């Protein structure tokens, strides 16, 4: 029997391991020169826009909402198909989450439904680029401009993705990335926020570390309520090593995604009733390769039978509005039917840079066997 194939696994090279060891020996292990260097390199990649790093992707979105001044009485529109962090940050700042259903083809928020959900209290949109696939960015920013809304892009999964040749993060409003262990590049845990100007960057620094600012000679002042969200130099050393591999990782994932399509063949959907992801090789970084299963098989059954064949399957995500915390806010079944169907049947097949074409083929054979009987 083949060895177990997980759905995701980080690729950390020896140079990165050596850089982490060097940082540990350096005597400076919290935020320091490695964090500054990582922020500088990220900023270069994002077209020179200000970038600050943090200890999670989640807190970058919360901080972006705080910088935008959002709070009680403000509505923020987002998708029900995301990691729960995307909606939790809205509640965290005291604002009200408003969900808009997803597009069945992209599984991303449906921009028609975003427009329909806008009220006089709407202040921001948090689009999510599921599996790294961007929404229609031109249309997103047209809607935002027309209704004077801030955008906090949940690009947690989208580092390396592009729009009309430009990296996601190199344009737009706030753009948030995660470097959690499963993401295309990782710092084990961490994230970064791309900002619009130096004023926002200064505020991000305050929110990142207890609201502290340095003012005057040897003095400090605290004038906003910040938290403890800084990245360590140990994490930044991992990030620098990973960032150097970003193009390789993205290219490898695109190659594997193409191989999934080629191996499954053009009749796969008609034969099995399963739905493949949109075949986007221009913009998507292929953070995930997601299939929506036909209704005749439950996800739990599919996952168990794939596990018997030594293949790990993930799922991203259960619809947020059906969690107890969100039901308590008045959300219930039937409100977002496409998200509910996708959320029930979506699975993530193995996809990571160190995988090979044989792993793809093994997964396809196993999946077809499970779907055929």
Ligand X SMILES: *Cc1c(COP(=O)(O)O)cnc(C)c1O
Interface residue list for ligand X (CB under 6 A): 56-58, 82-83, 85-86, 128, 154, 156-157, 178, 180, 191
Compute the least distance from the CB of residue 57 to ligand X, in Å. Answer: 3
Spatial CA neighbour of 82 closest among 152, 144, 139: 152
Q: Residue 339 or 371: which CB sits closer to ligand X?
A: 339
Q: Residue 183 or 206: which CB sits closer to ligand X?
A: 183
Per-residue DSSP letter, 357: H
Burial of 218 (0-12, 13-18, 19+ CB in 10 A): exposed
Q: Choosing from 34, 133, 183, 206, which is the catalytic residue?
A: 183
Q: Residue 130 or 237: which CB sits closer to ligand X?
A: 130
Parallel, antiparallel or unpaired: strands 220-222 and 96-99: unpaired
d(CA 362, CA 158): 27
Name the closest residue to ligand X (Cβ).
57
Q: Residue 51 or 366: which CB sits closer to ligand X?
A: 51
d(CA 260, CA 245): 23
Compute the least distance from the CB of residue 41 to ligand X, in Å. Answer: 19
Q: What is the DSSP string of 206-256?
A: HHHBTTEEE-STT-EEE-S---B-PPPHHHHHHHHHHHTTHHHHHHHHHHH
Q: Is 34 a known active-site residue? A: no
Q: Residue 16 or 58: which CB sits closer to ligand X?
A: 58
Q: Contact, 309 vs 366, CB < 8 A?
A: yes
Compute the least distance from the CB of residue 58 to ligand X, in Å. Answer: 3
Compute the least distance from the CB of residue 347 to ligand X, in Å. Answer: 16
Q: What is the DSSP string of 256-283?
A: HHHHHHHHH-TTHHHHH--BPPP---SS
Compute the least distance from the CB of residue 182 to ligand X, in Å. Answer: 7
Dihedral sign, Cα of residue 264, residue 270, residue 273, residue 279: positive
Q: Residue 243 or 268: which CB sits closer to ligand X?
A: 243
Q: Which residues of 62-84 are buried (b: 16+ CB within 10 A; e: fewer)?
A: bbbbbbbebeeebbbbbbbbbbe
Compute the least distance from the CB of residue 229 to ligand X, in Å. Answer: 10
Assign residue 125 a region (left: φ > 0; alpha: ψ between -120 and 50; beta: otherwise).
beta
Q: Residue 191 or 268: which CB sits closer to ligand X?
A: 191
Helix crossing, 246-264 with 357-372: angle to 10°?
40
Q: By three-state DSSP, how is residue 126 classified? A: strand
d(CA 43, CA 37): 10
Compute the least distance from the CB of residue 85 to ligand X, in Å. Answer: 4
What residues are annotated to the active site?
183
């Amino acid at each position: 029997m083949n060895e177990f194939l997980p759905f995701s696994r980080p690729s950390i090279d020896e140079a990165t391991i050596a850089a982490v060891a060097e940082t540990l020996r350096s005597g400076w292990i919290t935020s320091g020169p490695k964090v500054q260097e990582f922020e500088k390199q990220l900023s270069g990649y994002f077209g020179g826009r200000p970038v600050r790093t943090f200890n999670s992707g989640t807190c970058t979105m919360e901080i972006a909402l705080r910088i935008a001044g959002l709070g009680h009485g403000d509505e923020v529109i987002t998708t029900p198909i995301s990691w729960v962090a995307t909606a939790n940050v809205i509640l965290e700042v005291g604002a009200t989450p408003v969900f808009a259903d997803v597009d069945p083809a992209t599984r991303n928020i449906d921009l028609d439904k975003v427009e329909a959900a806008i009220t006089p209290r709407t202040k921001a949109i948090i689009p999510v680029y599921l599996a790294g696939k961007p929404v229609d960015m031109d249309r997103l920013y047209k809607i935002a401009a027309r209704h004077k809304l801030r955008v906090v892009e949940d690009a947690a999964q989208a580092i390396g993705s592009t729009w009309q040749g430009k990296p996601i993060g190199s344009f737009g409003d706030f753009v948030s990335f995660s470097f959690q262990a499963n993401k295309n590049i990782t710092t084990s845990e961490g994230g970064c926020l791309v900002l619009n100007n130096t004023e926002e960057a200064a505020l991000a620094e305050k929110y990142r570390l207890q609201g502290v600012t340095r003012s005057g000679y040897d003095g400090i002042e605290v004038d906003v309520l910040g938290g403890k969200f800084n990245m360590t130099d140990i994490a930044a050393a991992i990030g620098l090593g990973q960032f150097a591999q970003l193009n390789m990782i993205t290219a490898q994932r695109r190659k594997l995604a193409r191989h999934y399509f080629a191996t499954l063949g053009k009749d796969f959907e008609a034969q099995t009733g399963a739905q493949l992801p949109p075949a986007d090789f221009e913009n998507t970084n292929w953070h995930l390769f997601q299939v929506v299963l036909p209704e005749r098989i439950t996800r739990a059954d599919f996952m168990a039978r794939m596990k018997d064949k030594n293949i790990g399957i993930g799922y991203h995500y259960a619809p947020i509005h059906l969690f107890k915390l969100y039901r308590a806010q008045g959300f219930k079944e039937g409100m977002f039917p496409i998200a509910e169907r996708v959320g029930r049947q979506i699975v993530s097949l193995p996809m990571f840079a160190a995988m090979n074409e044989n792993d793809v083929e093994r997964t396809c054979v196993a999946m077809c066997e499970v779907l055929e009987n």
